[in-house]
Structures are given as C-alpha cells and as structure tokens.
Amino acid sequence: MLASKKSEARQEPQTGSGGDLPRGVSKADTVNKPSGASKGSPQQTGLSTLQKKMQQKLKGARFRWINEAMYTETGAHTFKMVQADPSIFEEYHQGFAAQVQKWPVNPVDIFIGQLQGRSRAVVADLGCGEAALSAAVGAQHTVHSFDLVAHNERITACNIADVPLPDESVDVAIFSLALMGTDFIKFVREASRILRTGGELKIAEVVSRIADVSAFVTALEGQ
C-alpha cells in the first residue's frame, strides 16, 4: 500500500491536455526547387511564411488530438493504438518537444537533479518519453525506463499499468507528466507494487489534473 511509502506530488509548470500554457508563464518540409525558379524565389528557400504557419498549425492540431486521446482512453487502449501505429507516438513526442521549449522548467530536469544528489538507487521511470532521465543518471543509478513505444534501447515498451518488474524491487518510482489515461490510478497501484517499503513515489503533473495536492496525496495513500 502507498500508505507505507513516501509519496511526492509536484505541480510543475507544464502544458496539459489540449495544449494549455504552462502555469507561471505568464521545419517545415522543404520542397524541391521547380525547374526555372528564379534566384531568391520562395520555392528556392522552401515553403512560404504563410505555408509554414499553416503547417505548424496542422502539427499543433495533430498533437492536441493525440494528447486528448491519451487522456480520454485507458492505458491498455492507448498501448494497442500506438503499437499498431508507432508513428502516432513519434508525432506526439515531436509536439511535446516543441512545447517543452516554451516552459521555464522541465520536471525531468528537476528529477535528474534530485537523483544526482542521492546515493545509488533503483529507479523506475514510468512514462519515460525518450528516457532522458536514464541517459542523465543511468551511470549512477539503475534506471528502468518504460513507455508505450521503445523509442531507443533504454526503453521497454509496455502499458505502465503492467510493468515487467518484481514486487518491491525499486527505490524510486517517477511519473513525469505520465498519468495520461482514464485508468491512471492503475499506474499508481503498479508503482505501489514495485516500490519497496519506504520507497519514494514522485509525480509531476499539470495543475488542471491536480487542483488540490494534499487531497491528491491522501487519495494515493489510500491505494
């Protein structure tokens, strides 16, 4: 049970479902030059400014659609969806990376800093994205990285409600903007299963998902 384990819910300034701006704040595909195109013409340099703006709007709309789907479906459904078409996950992370550039802070960087300052531990990064945390502290800690698609060799693809780790086998479980799904409480219960007694559960989520941090932590401790 999480009641016997340390829970930490952090409200980081992040984007949420639908592409909300971060709290506290406050590429186009090139085209071949047509034959006979004059020097300095828009065709020579790629898409026009208007075309680039339209393309970015389309990419943003696609990202918001995928983001919304991940928040409004179960983890199992989303896992099947992206396994059937991994390009969906790639599009999502391209859009996510673009959003991150606008944030004053990335919660993954905060978790990296915390782990760099502690003794060796076994860490589960649940919903790891491109496994930036493992890349940063993998030499210091044992890091197990899980997400819907194995973006690189550090990652194990799975539904994070069912990760391939034994009971009570990790010291730190991390969800960095990863409680995406109507059944996200199953993700938390899975973290409880793999955490050792006295282990740490670290969560960074959008403000709209955790309006009352104290109530959220109390709810987690009851799982």
Provide the pairing of β-strand 170-176 with 122-126: parallel
Residue-wise pLDDT tens digits, 98-141: 787 888 889 999 999 999 999 999 999 999 999 999 999 999 99
Q: Is the pLDDT of residue 180 over 90?
A: no
Q: Which residue has the tokens 């990064």?
A: 125
Q: Is the pLDDT of residue 67 over 80?
A: no
Structure tokens given for 200: 């740490």
Burial of 219 (0-12, 13-18, 19+ CB in 10 A): middle
- Closest C-alpha to 208, from 19, 59, 65: 19
Structure tokens given for 206: 């959008």
Average pLDDT over residues 200-205: 94
Residue 102 to residue 70: CA distance in whole angstroms: 22
What is this structure's pTM?
Answer: 0.69
Provide the pairing of β-strand 155-157 with 195-205: unpaired
Residue-wise pLDDT tens digits, 7-37: 454 444 444 444 443 444 333 333 333 344 4
pLDDT at 199: 97
